[in-house]
Chain A
């Protein structure tokens, strides 16, 4: 045969451009793959590489290489490569694709990887309809690790971990991944193909190309399951293995298209608008008003409040604390607010720690308060003994029981909930008590409390009820003081 004759021939089939000319990442024998003679991985890789070439997507392609014989895809594919943990390729692929929506992401997985340890990841990637292509190489065994059984191992098939053959009673039935995933609403294309003869091989190449093309078109999740020979682990010649795919495997895993929604689905728009960098602080609702400077009008020169607010869930314990902290901040004080948190959270009680101070707050935890607002009796009994000498107890009840009132503790006990009812809603009990506290301590000018309230309470009705409750709470304390003076 002469050069002249060959010059009349075009290349019909040759090594794809998507493969490296030489496999530099492979330690030795850099001109051939690490796959055993007759292994289906090589065929599947070639089909994938041809699809990448044909679709002109080599620069955009990112191959996910998870644990198993699949892992060395990065030796061969001249594309972007990410090696992944066992079974996690669909999760990795999900994020790669969402990070770079213009890339073409192929999750290339074996059956141990995909159907056993990675069963959750593939199920959910499929169910989310990730716009990725999953290549699922099913050879009914864990090959790289020496031939252990997997979920895909056939009934009766011997493996190193099913030495007497897989039994349904012990290991369950072979997992039909394609059928399983086809029950989901999201996948656009799922097909099982084989490498059992020429016809099957040609169909496998078409299916793989189609699965990649679906992604290029932005259609969504495609998975191609390939029944693939593993002559080494199956202890067969390559030709026998090919026949076994066709004559044995196929009986458990019928070939065919299980799901095809490619004609129904609309391509996705991946170019979503992104705001300018300068817009981000506002989008995050980060305030950009200027800090008030100078003297703080109406605030005493020394403030050091350690406040504990406690009651049952629904009494507005946390909101009371938040209004205090927000108002304190507005007034230029150092503040902290710490909600009851932990074992108590689910038991129906609620409490919070609030600190207001002129100096930086060391600990936000108020273990010995100088103000206790007890919105019910259990809270009073729980915390009354912790109140510092000279401190205050505000109690939502007719009177503080004597055993809860140590020497040097001031108290204001009123049936705040009944009074709140009279004002129109028992849910403003908290603001009545806050009003009384503000009057007692005199630390926060009303204007700051009002602005805190309006930033925290969105309902107009409650805002107005809360405001009047605050005023009413202040006057309740003043009236009591008057009454006490008169009594003296």
Chain B
């Protein structure tokens, strides 16, 4: 199949439909509105449901209803809308319902602005609603990954019966790149637990209420056990020239792209830099980060926030290596030049001069 030039947001929605998504309930918000608009255009064509809800609160609860009825469903939102959806996400996780939520991030707190920031990390990755739950979080860094990770998101949502968030910044949503889609659409199916209004499904119950203390604790432990399995099996990261990296830059989404470009320039200067780009933010690829400590002397988290993911990098390393941080916000992106300056600074502070020279010679 030929590659097509497409916006990330459009590609995400088309991939969702190819993955069997048959319902979209949403509320427009910049910069996620294109996803809502694309769903409005295509869902009726393919016999699916599109409904613009009265609020994000209603939209997420509609998702709860559609998921309860056994339909692959999704919504899309951004910062302030995600805050409103936290109630529903807690219920979805508590009732073990699968769904996909695309968060095309913007700046906050409050109304903030509509420019890309990565400051939804904590509310999405740490499970911003009430109770003992997690959401699986995937972070695409290209339009192709908007396609691929959307397909994966629906799979993981069903496999773990849990909400999955696609956490993408506005850049990935707005930009156009060539993409390739799977050649065949996935056939929707009816899960056996769904409340589908049929004789076979009559006894089914979707519920997050457990009055009895022991029953509630048991439910919460069962959820925890499920998250541990996800932790073991689903953590994903892209490693870019980390084999011999003494400085490891960690960043996701659009930042991951910038870090790769910086790596090329830094390597040309003889600085052994590599990039670890988390693809799953929950489960966080902690063991992949820990695996790098043999040769990595210092880690640096680069984010479009005041430092949110950096906490997970620190937890992963647990003091084994220093973790530096570079963050920009408000719609500003850590520039190639800024990151390059950081890399040079880290090289002079943490790397032995001889090692650098050797590397330099090797590259000449």
Pull 10 A–B residue pairs with CB atoms less than 8 Å apart, ordered by A: A79-B202, A81-B204, A82-B65, A82-B207, A95-B65, A99-B73, A337-B176, A343-B330, A363-B261, A368-B337
Cβ-defined contact, B175 with A337, below 8 A: yes
Interface presence of A263 (CB below 8 A): no
Partner of A362, one of B187, B201, B264: B264
Stretch at the interface among A275-283, A394-402, A408-416, A435-443: A275-283
Specify which of B64, B91, B184, B199 is in contact with A95 (CB 8 Å cutoff). Answer: B64
Instruction: Say yes or no: A342 contacts B116, CB within 8 Å.
Output: yes
Binding site for A on B (CB under 8 A): 1-5, 14, 17-18, 23, 25, 31, 42, 45-47, 49, 51, 53-55, 57-59, 61-66, 68-71, 73, 87-88, 91, 95, 113-116, 170-171, 174-178, 181, 183-185, 187, 195-199, 201-209, 211-212, 254, 257-258, 260-261, 264, 330-331, 333, 335-337
Report Cα–Cα, A291/B199, bound state, in Å. 49
- Give 10 nearest A-B pairs by CB, closest first: A103-B197, A342-B115, A95-B65, A274-B47, A99-B69, A92-B65, A88-B61, A342-B331, A80-B195, A95-B62
Residues on B with C-beta less than 8 A from A121 are: 54, 57-58, 61
User: What secondary structure prevails in chain A residues at the interface with B?
Assistant: mixed
Q: Which residues of chain A have C-beta atoms less than 8 A from B178's C-beta? A: 329, 334-335
Report the minimal beta-carbon distance from A82 to chain B, rounded to whole angstroms: 5
- What is the size, in residues, of chain A's interface with B at 8 Å between Cβ atoms? 73
Query: Does chain B have a CB within 8 A of A96?
Result: yes
B-contacting residues, A84-108, CB 8 Å:
84-85, 88, 91-96, 98-100, 102-105
Indicate with 1 or 0, residue by residue over A357-368, a CB within 8 angstroms of chain B CB atoms: 000011111011
**Which residues of chain B have C-beta atoms less than 8 A from A326's C-beta?**
5
B61 touches A84 (CB 8 A): yes
Q: How far, in angstroms, from A275 to B42 measured CA to CA in the complex?
A: 12
Highest count of chain A CB atoms <10 Å: which of B1, B45, B115, B205: B205
* Chain B residues near A120 (CB-CB < 8 A): 54-55, 57-58
The residues of B that contact A302 with a CB separation of less than 8 Å are none
Which stretch of A5-13, A57-65, A476-484 is in the interface?
A57-65
The answer to whether A337 and B5 touch across the interface, beta carbons within 8 angstroms, is: yes
CA distance A203 to B197 in the complex (A): 28
Q: Which of B45, B195, B254 contacts A82 (CB 8 A)?
A: B195
Cβ–Cβ < 8 Å partners of A84 in chain B: 61, 64-65, 91
Instruction: Given contacts A361-B177, A362-B258, list 6 more A-B pairs with CB under 8 A.
Output: A27-B211, A81-B204, A103-B196, A275-B45, A345-B114, A367-B336
Smallest CB–CB gap between A402 and chain B, Å? 25
A81 to B95, CA, bound (A): 12
CA distance A365 to B171 in the complex (A): 9
Q: Are A325 and B1 in contact (CB under 8 A)?
A: no
Q: Report the bound CA distance from A290 to B42 in whole Å.
A: 24
A169 within 8 A of B: no
Closest to A101 in B: B197
- In the complex, are the beta carbons of B170 and A58 less than 8 A apart? no
**Measured CA separation A61–B196 after assembly (Å):** 9
Q: A331 to nearest B CB, angstroms?
A: 12
Q: Name the A residues within 8 Å of B114 (CB-CB).
A: 342, 345
Contacts of A364 in B (CB 8 A): 171, 175, 177, 254, 257
Known contacts A100-B197, A338-B171, A343-B331: A286-B4 contact under CB 8 Å: yes
Specify which chain A residues have a CB less than 8 angstroms from the CB of B335 in the assembled complex. 367
Return the contact of B2 from the options A93, A273, A284, A289 (Cβ within 8 A). A289
Contact B46 A280 (CB under 8 A): yes
| Chain B minimum-CB-distance residue to A64 | B65
What is the distance, in angstroms, from A352's C-beta to the closest C-beta of chain B? 9
Are A100 and B61 closer than 8 Å at their CB atoms?
Answer: no
* Complex Cα gap A341–B34 (Å): 14
- Is B170 a contact of A341 with CB atoms below 8 Å? yes
